[in-house]
Structure 1
Amino acid sequence: METHIFQDEWFANGSVPEPEPRVLLADHDPISRHVLQSVLRKTDQIRFVASVDMRRPLREWPLEQVDVAILAVGPQEDHEDILRELARGKIRVLLVGIGWSRERLDAAFAAGVAGCLVKDTRIGGLAAAARAVASGHTVLSPELFGLYRDASRAGGGGPATAPGGPGPSGRGLPALTDREHEVLALLAEGRSTAEAAALLNVSPATVKSHISHSLGKLGARNRLEAVLLMQRALGRTE
């Protein structure tokens, strides 16, 4: 999971040099849906395809026309089936919601989402976040990054892991190969899989393979945890 963390705003580093992604918005609240789609329609950073009621069957969503799906979700809502189907179609997913917890974030990333944002009045950067997601980055609102950072500080051994599993630890870093270390260091700089692959002169699939091998050595549940460990090792977290 490539990490592009927004420390101050949803999108702070300008435009991402990729083709305009085709974006779908799904929200069960008609007022919220109207507000969000108004913002998305006004930008030239994406191609807004449609907005749908989240409760409509997936077969009625124009998914064949979509690169990124923005889902507005509530704290008690379970959209595992939707996320699984979107992942099967290789559609990048950006969740926008309230009431986030560390457990919800872990579940979202385990389901394959590419970003999680706090649903508040700062919606001007939503299109840019969707574009970053389409480019292979992972986006997090600053508050949500704080959930991982604070857990890392409090636990001493990194972010929490599954019950009974080994906790991620910087002690696993020496076990990484030179190339695995290089890959994680690039991701810690905010590079995407494609960017890391280009810099290392390898394929994106090779980069993903190195990331996968790194997770087991570090005891990390997902790539975000692995990248945070690397950021701490490189002195790039606050």
Structure 2
Amino acid sequence: MSIRVVVADDQELVRSGFSMILEAQQDIEVVAEAGDGLEALAAVRRHTPDVLLLDIRMPHMDGLEAARLVCAESGCKVVMLTTFDLDEYVYEALYAGASGFLLKDVRRDDLVHAVRVVAAGDSLLAPSVTRRLVTDMIRRRRAEAAPEPAPARLGALTAREEETLRLLARGLSNAEIATTLFVSEHTVKTHVSNVLSKLGLRDRVQAVICAYETGLVTPGSP
């Protein structure tokens, strides 16, 4: 079954270029393109794609508001597109439910990989820039308001699930977590699924945010 994708960007050349790259893959189908946030939202509602590549800065409705609505209304995974790796909107996009982001100068192979990773239910946590964004975002949030105490929010987790969350927040992959905990990858996937379910989180990105907000992990910790 093909991964169904909507590409939304107000720059036609960028939009067409991404679409051509993705359409060249046997397992990916671009079902629609959109030139602004309203068109992107309408395309998701009409085509029910698996992944939405969404530019942050667009006319009529910006990518942030579109991401918030798409994530609230559907199971479509949102990947934000941005020109700058420290775009202020990226912080809010992650809170809105986006599964990660890509710079517009992303390499062809990395774009394809990102779509496949997100469609499979994972998130774009591997690039160091994403981890830096999450860390900086949490610094800002915790400076504005006291974080929710970890016991109050994490009490439903078992000790092994809490450790899995801690390793997730450090940016480890399932394979790396399995090695660290001396368990199978299948067991790690089960732990991750339990963490998301018990804490009411959409994906791994929100799990990382939760780990920082509760103080389970602190910026700069090993």
AA at the equivalent of 1:164? E
Q: Are 2:128 and 1:142 aligned? A: yes
**Does structure 2 conserve the Cα–Cα contact (< 8 Å) formed by 1:92 and 1:113?**
yes
Who is 1:223 aligned against?
207
**Shift in Å, 1:186:** 5.6
**Does structure 1 conserve the Cα–Cα contact (< 8 Å) formed by 2:161 and 2:192?**
no
> Which residue of the other structure, out of 38, 42, 50, is the alignment partner of 2:32?
50
Listed as ranges, the matches of 1:111-122 within 5 Å are 111-122=96-107
The one of the two structures with greater contact order (alpha-carbon pairs below 8 A, sep at least 6) is 1
Q: Are 2:49 and 1:66 aligned? A: yes
Who is 1:109 aligned against?
94
AA at the equivalent of 2:132? G
Listed as ranges, the matches of 1:54-203 within 5 Å are 54=36, 57=39, 58-60=41-43, 63-74=46-57, 78-87=62-71, 88-101=73-86, 103-140=88-125, 141-148=127-134, 151=136, 159-166=139-146, 177-185=158-166, 187=168, 188-191=171-174, 198-199=186-187
**Shift in Å, 1:97:** 0.8
**Shift in Å, 1:29:** 1.1
> How far does the alpha carbon of each residue in 1:147-194 deviate from its partner, in whole angstroms, 9 at most, with x for none?
445x49xxxxx733255322589999x9874143233146353239xx
Q: Which runs of 5+ in 2 are unaligned?
A: 179-183
**Does structure 2 conserve the Cα–Cα contact (< 8 Å) formed by 1:23 and 1:47?**
yes
**Shift in Å, 1:48:** 2.5
AA at the equivalent of 1:27? D
**Shift in Å, 1:110:** 0.9
**Does structure 2 conserve the Cα–Cα contact (< 8 Å) formed by 1:184 and 1:226?**
no
Who is 1:8 aligned against?
none
**Does structure 1 conserve the Cα–Cα contact (< 8 Å) formed by 2:56 and 2:81?**
yes
Distance 1:164 1:98, change over 3 A: same
**Does structure 1 conserve the Cα–Cα contact (< 8 Å) formed by 2:82 and 2:103?**
yes
> How far does the alpha carbon of each residue in 1:70-111 deviate from its partner, in whole angstroms, 9 at most, with x for none?
112339973344223311121110111123437423201110
**Shift in Å, 1:226:** 4.5
Mapped partners of 2:48, 2:151: distance in 1: 45
Distance 1:103 1:191, change over 3 A: farther
> How far does the alpha carbon of each residue in 1:186-224 deviate from its partner, in whole angstroms, 9 at most, with x for none?
6353239xx9995168587633144459xxxxxxx9422
Q: Are 2:16 and 1:34 aligned? A: yes
Q: Are 2:207 and 1:207 aligned? A: no
Q: How does the TM-score come out when normalised to structure 1?
A: 0.64
Q: Which runs of 5+ in 1 are unaligned?
A: 1-18, 153-157, 214-220
Distance 1:64 1:120, change over 3 A: same
Distance 1:44 1:159, change over 3 A: farther
**Does structure 1 conserve the Cα–Cα contact (< 8 Å) formed by 2:9 and 2:34?**
yes
How many pairs were matched up? 202
